[in-house]
Amino acid sequence: MVFDMGSVFMYLLGLFLLYLCCRLFIKPIKWLLLLFLHCLLGIGGILLFNLVVGSAGWHVAVNPLTAITSGVLGIPGIVMMLFMQSFL
């Protein structure tokens, strides 16, 4: 089998571009999956907070904004949302 240099070069260039595209898109996908995991943990934290302190009349609504806030900030985010809810 005989290959000319132009075909070999184009094949290697295509492999290199495929490698660059994969490298370029893997990091944002990891960040999105990590954010999604944190949002799930934030929802769990809000539900746990509502279960424990709900009898005192305090609650935090579960929606995407509160899930992201509590997922990224953790317990201080839940406390911040509680203060914002009581003052606004």
For position 12, what pLDDT does the model report? 92
pLDDT given for residue 21 in this prediction: 87
Q: What is the pLDDT of residue 16?
A: 93
What are the average pLDDT values for consecutive 10-residue runs of the chain, which has 88 residues? Answer: 82 92 85 91 91 87 90 88 86
The answer to whether residues 44 and 70 touch, using CB atoms and an 8 Å cutoff, is: no
Q: Where are the domains of the chain?
A: 26-87
Whole-number Å distance between alpha carbons of 48 and 58? 12
Judge if pTM exceeds 0.85: no
pLDDT attached to residue 56: 86
The pLDDT, as a whole number, for residue 5 is 85
| Predicted local distance difference test score (pLDDT) of residue 85 | 85
Question: What secondary structure letter does DSSP report for 63?
Answer: S
Give pLDDT, residue 55: 85
